Structure 1
Amino acid sequence: MRFDIITVLPGLLESPFAHSILQRAQKKGLVEIYVHNLRDYATNKHKSVDDYPYGGGSGMVMQIEPFAACIEKLQRERNYDEVIFMSPDGERLNQTIANGLALHENLIILCGHYKGIDQRIRDLYVTKEISIGDYVLSGGELPAAVLVDAIARLIPGVLSDETSALSDSFQGELLDAPVYTRPAEWRGHKVPDILLSGNQSLIDNWRYEQSLARTRERRPDLLDE
């Protein structure tokens, strides 16, 4: 799977993709992540990509020409399933969205900055807008990293245990059950006996009941949905 991320701050995305699972996924050839510097497509000698908003107001707006030039160059090279804009007013990211996007092959992700991007970019090029929560960040780079991580870990072969992603929180519309590892007792606190019983059927039932109880307590909105 290929991700092309367009940003004015490519350095901000170096670390998230250079470690752990995403690093291994790239080394295995399962995931390709390319970060494109929007300033390389600027049309002026100062390489600026923003300007004052029409109608007045505070802040600067990212211009349409650099985004259009980069997107169109990429689209001439291959077909893309989605052009995604990370936006606080987009559809809120959840596991269902990540699952669906993981079935695609090529995605373009746009990172906004400053006051926002020219609306015409959203009207003419963007096919999906995604938010990672009801708050505002300084730019779309961190949300883009979150989105790539959420998708990439679902690609077969990325996780060493492919069944792990299937049992994560939200996969069954429930939060995950409590998990434990050795030692079985620590400072008087014991692992639940049922997890040591070896009876997989009883363990599965216990985990489901725990997931249901935790979801009811912490995220009852998921049960309503």
Structure 2
Amino acid sequence: MHIDIITCLPRLIESPFADSILKRAQAKGLVTVNIIDLRQYATDKHKSVDDYAYGGGAGMVLMIEPIYRCITELKAQRNYDDIIYMSPDGELLKQSIVNELSLKGNLIFLCGHYKGVDERVREHLITREISIGDYVLSGGELAAAVVADAVIRLIPGVLSDETSALTDSFQDNLIAPPVYSRPAVFQGWKVPEILLSGHEARISQWKHEKSLERTLKRRPDLLKE
């Protein structure tokens, strides 16, 4: 997979890809993450990528010209499955969307900032808009990192145990069951006996029941789906 992330503030998004699973995925050659500084595509000596909004109002707007130049140059290099704008009013991110994106080959993430991007970018250059929640961040960088993390970990070979991703919360519209590790007893708090029994069928049944219980208590809306 090849992922290009367009941002006017590259340092905001560099660190998530420099450690742990995402770093190892790149080292293995399973994914390439290219963080692109939008200011490289500005034409004035100040490297300006934003301007005041027509019609007035508070906040600056990312201009269409540098974004157009950047996306046009990238599209000349490869075909992209999706050009995604991280937006608070995009489709709400769910595991089903992450699963879908993990099967793609080439993706662009455009990070808005300030008051957002010129609407013509959304009308003519973007193929998909995604939101990570009903709230507003300073920019789309953190949101793009969230989506990229969720997608990359599903690429075959990224996780040392690929079955781990299949048992995550939301994969089957259930929240994952509780998990325990050593020691079996700590401060008098015990690990459930069933997990120590070695009986795989009963353990599997226990986990499923706990997933149902936890989902019913915390996210009953998932059961309706």
CA distance in 1, matches of 2:223, 2:166: 19
Deviations 1:194-220 (A, max 9, x none): 111111111111100000000000011
Q: Following the alignment from structure 1 to structure 2, what is the Cα–Cα distance between the partners of residues 129 and 13?
A: 19
- Once the two structures are TM-superposed, the CA of residue 44 in structure 1 deviates from its matched residue by 1.5
**Residues 65-144 of structure 1 correspond to what in structure 2 (within 5 A)?**
65-144=65-144
In the alignment, which residue of structure 2 is the partner of 1:146?
Answer: 146
Map 1:1-225 onto structure 2 (within 5 A): 1-225=1-225
| Runs (5+) with no aligned partner, structure 1 | none
**Residues 4 and 107 in structure 1, CA contact (< 8 A), matched pair in contact too:** yes
Any idea what SS the aligned residue of 1:5 has? strand
Per mean C-alpha deviation after superposition, the further-off stretch among 211-220 and 42-51 is: 42-51
Identity of aligned residues (%): 65
- RMSD of the TM alignment (CA)? 0.6
**What's the secondary structure of 2:163's corresponding residue?**
coil
How far apart are the structure 2 equivalents of 1:45 and 1:72?
22
Secondary structure, in 3 states, of the residue corresponding to 1:14?
helix
Quote the Cα distance in structure 2 between the aligned partners of 1:183 and 1:218.
28
1:43–1:65: 8 Å Cα contact kept in structure 2? no
Letter in 2 for 1:68: Y
Given that 1:4 and 1:33 are in contact with CA atoms closer than 8 Å, whether structure 2 keeps it comes out as yes
Q: 2: distance between equivalents of 1:43 and 1:218?
A: 51
Distance of 1:147 and 1:43 partners within structure 2:
31
What SS is found at the alignment partner of 1:117?
A: coil
* 2:36 counterpart SS class: strand
Q: Deviation of residue 43 (structure 1)?
A: 2.0
CA distance in 2: counterparts of 1:195 and 1:125, whole angstroms: 52
Separation of aligned partners in 2, 1:57 and 1:143: 25
